[in-house]
Amino acid sequence: MLKHLLIPCLLLAAFGGVSVEQSFSDDSKAEAVQERVYRHVVLFKFKDDATKEQIDEIVTAFGQLEDQIDTIIAYEHGTDISPEKLAKGFTHCFLVTFESDEDLKAYLPHPAHQAFTKKLKPILADVLVVDFWANK
């Protein structure tokens, strides 16, 4: 009698596990799509005569954009510390995260962003921008 119950239980566990695994796999794919974000990487090279105070003011102003523009979901920044010495004069890196490329398109002409770029231009020697879709 126990033999007859054991086999169906094992089959149920085996096939039930496959079903659960498949469901989990589908959920993981859905989460992966939702976790995809649009990254906007900005590197600045400042003019040689730019003062520390001017540069600090720009860094602060860039950080304030997150509070002024709704489409920004995350903001990070830092300065080059690479031992490789391949930065080609770019000293400051900013990473702005959006949910979509449409959000970036809304950010670029935003009055707060335009005011920031106007403040930046007098001390900016060069800028490098790279945008990409990131999967978490």
Here the contacts of 28-37 (C-beta below 8 Å, separation 24 or greater) are 32/135, 32/136, 35/135, 35/136, 36/133, 36/134, 36/135, 36/136, 37/73, 37/74, 37/97, 37/98, 37/99, 37/133, 37/134, 37/136
Does 107 lie in the same domain as 78? yes
Cβ atoms of 62 and 40 closer than 8 Å: no
Instruction: pLDDT tens for the chain, 136 residues: list them.
Output: 544 443 444 333 333 443 333 334 444 444 445 589 999 999 999 999 999 999 999 999 999 999 999 999 999 999 999 999 999 999 999 999 999 999 999 999 999 999 999 999 999 999 999 999 998 7
Amino acid at 12: L
Q: Quote the number of domains for the chain.
A: 2
Judgement on whether residues 71 and 11 belong to the same structural domain of the protein: no
CATH number at residue 99: 3.30.70.100
Quote the Cα angle for 102-107-108, to 5°: 100
Give the structural domain span for 22.
Answer: 1-34
Considering the domain architecture, whether residues 87 and 126 belong to the same structural domain is answered as: yes
Same domain? 18 vs 66: no
Q: What is the pTM of this model?
A: 0.74
Give the distance from CA 102 to its chain's centroid: 14
Task: Based on the fold, state whether residues 28 and 62 are members of the same structural domain.
Answer: no
Q: What distance in Å separates the CA atoms of residue 40 and residue 102, rounded to the nearest whole number? A: 12
Beta strands in the chain (DSSP E): 37-46, 72-79, 92-98, 124-134
Q: In this predicted structure, what is the pLDDT of residue 11?
A: 37
- The sheet that has 72-79: what strands, in order across it? 72-79, 92-98, 37-46, 124-134
- Do 43 and 105 share a domain, yes or no? yes
Same domain, residue pair 58 and 28: no
Residue 102: per-residue pLDDT:
98
